[in-house]
Chains A and B, each alone.
Chain A
Amino acid sequence: MDTIRNGLSRRSVLKLGAGTAAVSFLAMPAIGRAAPTSLSVANGGGALGDAFKAACFDTFEKKTGIKIISAPYMEGARLKAMVEAGAVDIDVTDTDSSEAAPLAVAGLLDEIDYSVVPKDSLIDGAASKYWTSCYIAGCVLSWNTDSAKDGRPKNWQEFFDPKFKGRRTLWKNAAQTMEVAALGAGQTLDKLYPIDIDRAFAMLDGIRSSITWWTSGAQSAQLLANGDADFGMCWNGRVDPVKQQGGPIDYTFDYSLHTPGIWSLPKGGRNRDTAMKFIAHCMDPEVQAAFSKLIPYGPTNDKAFDILSAEERARMPSSPENRKLSVAIDGDYWLENGTKIYDRFNTWVVTK
């Protein structure tokens, strides 16, 4: 302290500071180029996290020696805050495409480098500019098997027919719920977008008094298994395990919505090159098949289906057999129309 106060002028201290900054600036690219010893990958955790760890993380570490550190799920708001603060400590995140789309538009994601990530055998729509789909989840028509003894709705039109008695459980969320309502109104899978919003709301009007809302996947399966609802829209990854454990619940992939789970890179991440290699690794057919054996989400690499048995394929929304009667959620549509439709949907829910 004394030396600074007595021996150095204010100006020379400033110079010293500037010099140090310059040196560390020059040193930075060298640090950046060195391969990291670990990557932070945010994901949903739970059964999904377990499948990621066994199929993707551990195999990547074995192949490259780079350890994958699993981080808690990145909500949109957290990712935005992290990127805008310039403190990006997450290299790769797993979300669904409808959450990633607004992030991409806001300039918070890095582009995927398809010279590193192989996209030739990926299914349609999997290789997007700002993300790569790594699995396909299905939003499926599900039912309680006890309630279904007297018959169950075979499609969304019957589901939304007020003459069909029973409690329905739906996601309290505009995206996906508007899609199934539109299918209920008779829009076809190939012409689902743009959604006829007025007709979709008319469908919801018709069954309003028999709706039980859910807000989380675990809740939807619970409501159906308990018999609190007779039939509903659920994610296949949630109803399938309950069915496998012998719960009174079943579902069909007919008229299902495909929602891709995706890998994306928060902008400004320090380990971009390695992160890209990690995504490439996750597109490997062997890796994807191993993943889909652990959790019933379908591969995005068509070659992975060759490795899976017919029985295993029957549980995958995106298998060649199951994808015939399905439609992929259109992220761009929601990006353009989301605010307006969410406002109307939220108002509809609370206004009696």
Chain B
Amino acid sequence: MKHRSFLLYLPVALLLTPFFLAPMAVIGTESFSGQHGVGAEYVKVVTDQGIRTVLYNTFYVAAMVTILSLLIGYPIAYVLARLKGRWATIGIFLIFLPFWASTVIRSFAWMILLGRKGPVNSILLGIGLIEDPIRFIDNGLGLMIAMTYIMVPFIVVPILNGLRAIDPNLPRAAAVLGANPWRQFLAVTLPLSMPNIAVGCTIVFVTSLGFFVTPSLLGGDLTVVSMLISEQANRLLDWPLASALAIIVLLLTIVIFALLRLSQLASRRRDKARSGVFA
């Protein structure tokens, strides 16, 4: 049995080895091939104040975009899950409508919308909410708005799938037991959709780490690592440093997900222990 289940990994391995593991090995080797001695690039990545700030910016933006996407995407998925038949199809169609325009165009549009004299600032100034235009395109605020807008569909779909898979009798049972709608949601629906929230957040977070066009147009003084890698690889032809940057981002991402997984396992163990009391 054990042998056979191992074989099930074969297609994945066949896909990942040439298209992910082998390129990563090439980049890993490249990152140690600098002229300044083995590992010098890593020392630079870790000690250079500018590069450290860029790495911090990258993960900060990805985290903020993930949180905002979840806050906006969950209610949308919740409403979509309750739509029936044709309305559900139309709803999902609308969610994916923005994909008909490229990221470049959508980012450019946000640059105009959020500009100093753009519609958003004009409206806010007009109704007297602000006295000076908000500098969306200079400080990273506009970047996070635009990226959230791009990423929301990616979190809606997995959560929608999760919500649809929940047996409608479960919230009903909670209602019978006296739970109000809010409590039904908190005690039944939300915990049951947690795995899908985790999937959606992972997709959004990892994709956000690699954004390039949107930060180029809307990043302002907030540089992210993809821009730095591109500059090193294309303009300065410093492939060892560009590779070291890519490897560091990969390692940091792995560490973050390992920590998440550990905390998940720990909480599951806690739940088991708790339910054991009643067993």
Contacts and interface: CB of A to CB of B under 8 A. Distances in A.
A347 B47 CA distance: 12
Contacts of A350: 50, 53-54, 57, 221-223
Interface string B33-53: 000000000000000111101
Given A216-B216, A226-B118, A342-B231, A349 B112 contact: no
Nearest to A345: B50
A139 B25 CA distance: 41
Contacts of A106: 237
A272 interface: no
A296 to B, nearest CB: 23
Interface string B46-73: 0011110110010000000000000000
A349 B221 contact: yes
Nearest to A227: B117
A316 B193 CA distance: 62
Interface string B126-152: 000000000001100000000000000
A162 interface: no
A351 interface: yes
A347 B57 CA distance: 12
A222 B222 contact: no
B229 to A, nearest CB: 10
Nearest to A144: B117
Interface residues of A, number: 36
A350 B57 CA distance: 9
A201 interface: no
B50 A343 contact: yes
A213 B236 CA distance: 20
B118 A102 contact: no
B115 interface: yes
A212 B237 contact: no
The secondary-structure label for the interface of chain B is helix
B116 interface: yes
B174 interface: no
Contacts of B228: 346
B235 A99 contact: yes
B234 interface: yes
Interface string B234-254: 111111001000000000000
Interface in A113-137: none
| Interface size of B as a range | 20 to 34
A215 B216 contact: yes
Residue from B51, B112, B228, B236 with most neighbouring chain A CB atoms (10 Å) = B236
Contacts of A347: 48-51, 53
B117 A228 contact: yes
Contacts of B233: 75-77
Interface in B200-238: 216-217, 219-223, 227-228, 231, 233-238
Contacts of B234: 75-77, 99
B159 interface: no
B48 A219 contact: no
B197 interface: no
Given A219-B111, A350-B221, A228 B137 contact: yes
A220 B237 CA distance: 25
A343 B222 contact: no
B40 to A, nearest CB: 13
A213 B223 CA distance: 11
Given A228-B137, A342-B236, A216 B217 contact: yes
A103 B54 CA distance: 26
A227 B137 CA distance: 13
14 contacts: A75-B233, A76-B234, A76-B237, A99-B235, A222-B111, A227-B115, A227-B116, A227-B117, A339-B236, A339-B238, A347-B48, A350-B50, A350-B54, A350-B221
Given A212-B220, A348-B50, 20 more contacts: A75-B233, A75-B234, A77-B237, A77-B239, A98-B235, A102-B236, A211-B221, A213-B221, A219-B217, A222-B112, A226-B116, A228-B117, A228-B118, A342-B236, A350-B53, A350-B222, A350-B223, A351-B49, A351-B53, A352-B221
Q: 9 smallest A-B Cβ distances: which pairs?
A: A347-B50, A228-B115, A77-B233, A215-B216, A76-B234, A350-B53, A227-B117, A102-B237, A75-B234
